Structure 1
Amino acid sequence: MATRVAAGRAKSLAKRHSQRALYKTLFRNGMAEEAVRTEVDRFLNSKKKVFRWEFGLTLSQLHHLGLYDLALKLSETLNQRGMTRRHQDLALYFDLVTKTRGIKEAEKCFIEIPDFAKTQPPYNALLKCYCEECMTEKAEGIMKKMKELRLASTPVPYNLLMTLYIKTDHPEKIPLMIQEMKTDDIMLDVHSYNLWMKGIAATGDVSGAERVFEEMKSDGQVMVDWTTYNHLALIYVEASLFDKAEVMLTELEKRINDGDLEAYQCLIRLYGRTGNSVKVHQLWQSLKPVIPKTQLNKSYLNMMRALADLNELPNLETCFKEWESLCESHDIHVVNVMMEAYAKAGLINKAIDIQNHALVRGAKLNSKTHEILMDSYWKGGEFASTIKCINDAVNARGEGTKWVPPMEIVVSLMGHFKRGDDVDGAEAFLNVLEESGMKLGAEVFEPLIQTYAYAGKTNRLMRRRLKMENVVVSDATDKLLDNVCVE
């Protein structure tokens, strides 16, 4: 009897804790940034105490919503008040620091950790930051240090590096990593096998990916789950082997639980890419009633991408309007899907209207938003508007990403400046390209030099600029430099 009473009290207490969890307090007025920011400030001013479990869950929710500065502010304030940061918390903390203040600040945080406390979790956390920022040399350097300290004893750092190699288009390095893991008796996990398959497929060897899958199934230490079938389905889709992809998706469906939102989202997206409209709509109708508020934007984004792949513009418009009626924060990623569909259909004015409405609703435009309009303007020969979009896209880059314009458009615009003898316009455009971090080569400098020559203008520093950028121009352009580089 006493045991039942104690269990009942524990259950009641757990329920009360769940109901008053910090993240529920912060999101009680919706998930729009300003509403959450107000609640975070109110909570911090109240100096109320929280349990560690709700603190961690709240940080994860804020991170998921892209509210990195708020998550970092909450983390650092509560840490100062005695909520000490554990080693397993460092990956998220370093990520927040990187996204908010830059990678150098994350490195500083790592350096400040005492040497005796620099165990696997801190090293893995910093390695993750380097990999997400595509800093290959630093990532490989810290991996080497981890091996020297015998801290690379799990699949985690290897998986991080393999993910980096896929992102930076170096899949040929992945089999070497796998061989190294096997040589050092480091057990491959599901993620390792998935990355191995993905890397092999990225080199064009689909049958090689299938052989990896067979090896995985024979590995008694690894349980094949739905993520593996998802990876194989994606490999088949990208190879246009749609029948094989659908077989994998059928197997995927057999292995997921009803509440596994991520798995259902993957199914919807991949069925969209195989052209199976019936399955997309069927799965969406099953999923829609159980989508939690925190996953609303992500779920609608995924469905809209599937509808875009299916070229179902009317259904896409309906889905977008439904999302707008439900959402509490206007996610620009969802808006971009609708804008891109309109632009693809030649309905540029509708795309602009959607963008303007998003601004009114408080959305923050990102580089992709401007890129969508840039592409349409460029194809329509509206070069002034194209250049403005490029400038806006460079200034809007964020979320730890780097954005540079496509080289095809850059070359086209440099030709436009040359035809108009527009030296000032060309130089202003180069400033934008430099700000984007784009490597400027001969394809940019040759038309620049020609623009100077045809306009009859000079620039005595042009040869020095070429030397600094390590650019070699053609013999014909080099002859023009004799006239351009005069005192």
Structure 2
Amino acid sequence: MKLFSMSSSSLSRRAYSSFNKTQIRTRNRTKFRWKTSPAFRSLYRSISHLGDPDVSVVPALDEWIRQGKPATKWDLQRLITVLMGSKRFRHALEVSLWMCNGKRYPISPFDIGVRLKLILKNFNIEQAENYFNKIPEHLRTNQIYLAILNCYTISKSVDKAESIMQKARELGYADRPIWYNLMMNLYCKLGNREKLRELLAEMESKGVSYDQFTYSVCLSACAAASDAAGMDRVMSVMESDPSVTVHWQTLVTAAQSYLRIGSFDEAMQLLNKLIKQLARCSQRNVLVVLLLNLCAEAGKKEELHRIWESYKGRKVVNKVYISMIRSLIKFNDIEEVEKIFEEWESGALTFDFRVPNFLIDAYSTDGRVDKAEALIARVVSKGGCPLVTTWCHLAGGYMKKNQVAEALRSLRKAISACPPKFASQKQSLITCLEYLQNNECLEEAEELIKSLRTSGMSGAPASDEFCGFREDAGEEQDFEGALVSEDDEDVDD
């Protein structure tokens, strides 16, 4: 598949032309950078420990105000963005509602756009669309249309996404690559390569510059078509494009794409480039997680250990431990997993039960339920709280050994640990329990337990306080990163 039908020389001329246009735009527009204040850091600390989505952050915010502490709109918007980055979408929506309700601050187009995304993440596309339809016409800026386009592309609502894109063209908003990237990402996921090529041609005809996300989508499309030559061509054009600073995230996408089509040598070359960027990366924990995942996918155990050894001298956060343990499990190296777990256990990190959960799963899968039980008891004695999936792992292990009574006991614990809001998952557990109690359909019960173990037992919060539109007299803000993420996954990820 040829995403770029032009010759290399034509692409080079186009790259330098877009570089000149980018330089002009950059001189006329100051790029925004978040600046954290001591007040913001103190505010964030006051709610950061409330990691459970069932625990509202509103009382903490109310207490903050009651104590007479400052909560500027700037800091609250920053707080929402940080929470979104940590996938704490329920808490981010709570802060958004709290910020604009009660006449604390007027709602701006930026706030509306962010809330659209949060409604989608917490609920569904129908709720987001209902909210969009209530937005007064005079507040529907390019930010709002960009946010609803993002919602439609995430939910794969093709016709509605195309309608919004056409509206953006008519209003003159679609003059930046982000609009095209969102649509191309949608077509890439749906396997519609022809539409993707049409958008690339439209960008070319309208003089809209490619950016690193444009290239990332093209790389993913080539990988989906197992087009190694196409990937090489995209990489060559991207690296020679002076208007694009190739970000490490784009290199990760490229490495993942090469692995997908079996081009291991090219993937390892990119992996080595990424390792060199690790020391100066501002999101080192995120990059380390991705590098560990890449090494596991490539089957490079030595590289996996090399990255771990070079990194673990610093403070290692839970998500990095989780990634290392998950990667070692892919190599079926349980002894190494146990060593990493002991390192985590001896540290002073928050006792996140997801870390031992991987080892509990491995023990249960191998039928070593006695070790799984002992590990659960050990972690509980240190203040850990087992997850629903913890008991599902254990139930699955007992099912493998035909120990139905023990599996029943584990399932009852899973049911008691399941939050009330996860009604569908709780009902699935109850159904499974009933299968076992009747001592029938054991295979079906085992399959149900397996699906519950892999589902993560996730759910969505409930709230319908979305509105409160008023014009913001303050300065308009253009923080695209909070409105959309061009690498967003599906809404139910």
Q: Secondary structure of 1:84's match?
A: coil
Mapped pair 1:110 → 2:132: yes
Give the CA RMSD over aligned residues: 4.5
Q: Which residue of 2 aligns with 1:473?
A: none
The answer to whether the 8 Å contact 2:58/2:95 transfers is no
Structure 1 residues 15 and 66, CA, compared in 2 at 3 Å: closer, same or farther? closer
Mapped pair 1:153 → 2:180: no
Shift of residue 304 of structure 1? 2.2
Mapped pair 1:284 → 2:308: yes
Match of 2:329 among 308, 313, 336: 308
Shift of residue 47 of structure 1? 6.6
Shift of residue 306 of structure 1? 2.3
Q: Distance in 1 between matches of 2:386 and 2:256?
A: 31
Mapped pair 1:123 → 2:149: no
Q: Which residue of 2 aligns with 1:70?
A: 91
Structure 1 residues 15 and 174, CA, compared in 2 at 3 Å: closer, same or farther? closer
CA distances 1:163-206 after superposition (whole Å, capped 9, x unpaired): 33444555664334323322332211001101101111111112
Structure 1 residues 246 and 190, CA, compared in 2 at 3 Å: closer, same or farther? same
CA distances 1:324-355 after superposition (whole Å, capped 9, x unpaired): 554436364x5654455445545466567778
Q: Which residue of 1 aligns with 2:78?
A: 57
CA distances 1:223-263 after superposition (whole Å, capped 9, x unpaired): 22323332222122223332322111122233451543133
Shift of residue 322 of structure 1? 4.1
Shift of residue 207 of structure 1? 1.7
Q: Distance in 2 between matches of 1:364 and 1:168?
A: 35
Shift of residue 24 of structure 1? 1.9
Q: Which residue of 1 aligns with 2:488?
A: none
The answer to whether the 8 Å contact 1:25/1:39 transfers is yes
Shift of residue 211 of structure 1? 0.9
Structure 1 residues 93 and 211, CA, compared in 2 at 3 Å: closer, same or farther? same
- TM-score normalised by length of structure 2: 0.64
Q: Which amino acid aligns with 1:76?
A: L
Structure 1 residues 36 and 285, CA, compared in 2 at 3 Å: closer, same or farther? farther
Q: Which residue of 1 aligns with 2:196?
A: 174
The answer to whether the 8 Å contact 1:31/1:329 transfers is no
Q: Distance in 1 between matches of 2:325 and 2:156?
A: 29
The answer to whether the 8 Å contact 1:265/1:299 transfers is yes
Q: Which amino acid aligns with 2:299?
A: G
CA distances 1:2-50 after superposition (whole Å, capped 9, x unpaired): xxxxxxxxxxxx99725753102223x5755659676345336557431
Structure 1 residues 199 and 39, CA, compared in 2 at 3 Å: closer, same or farther? same
Which consecutive unaligned segments of at least 5 residues does structure 1 have?
A: 1-13, 406-412, 437-487
Structure 1 residues 65 and 233, CA, compared in 2 at 3 Å: closer, same or farther? closer
The answer to whether the 8 Å contact 1:172/1:199 transfers is no
Shift of residue 159 of structure 1? 1.9
Mapped pair 1:266 → 2:266: no
Mapped pair 1:139 → 2:161: yes
CA distances 1:115-149 after superposition (whole Å, capped 9, x unpaired): 23212211111122223333334333322332333
Structure 1 residues 190 and 42, CA, compared in 2 at 3 Å: closer, same or farther? same
- TM-score normalised by length of structure 1: 0.65
Paired residues, what number?
A: 389
Structure 1 residues 86 and 349, CA, compared in 2 at 3 Å: closer, same or farther? farther
Q: Distance in 1 between matches of 2:328 and 2:141?
A: 46
Q: Which amino acid aligns with 1:200?
A: C
Mapped pair 1:207 → 2:229: yes
Q: Secondary structure of 1:21's match?
A: helix
Structure 1 residues 31 and 236, CA, compared in 2 at 3 Å: closer, same or farther? same
Q: Secondary structure of 1:78's match?
A: helix
Q: Distance in 1 between matches of 2:244 and 2:153?
A: 25
Shift of residue 209 of structure 1? 1.0
The answer to whether the 8 Å contact 1:72/1:96 transfers is yes
Structure 1 residues 397 and 381, CA, compared in 2 at 3 Å: closer, same or farther? farther
Structure index of larger Rg? 1
Identity, % of aligned pairs?
27
The answer to whether the 8 Å contact 1:206/1:235 transfers is no
Q: Which residue of 2 aligns with 1:191?
A: 213
Structure 1 residues 258 and 73, CA, compared in 2 at 3 Å: closer, same or farther? closer
Structure 1 segments of 4 or more deviating over 6 A?
352-360, 369-386, 395-399
The answer to whether the 8 Å contact 1:178/1:196 transfers is no
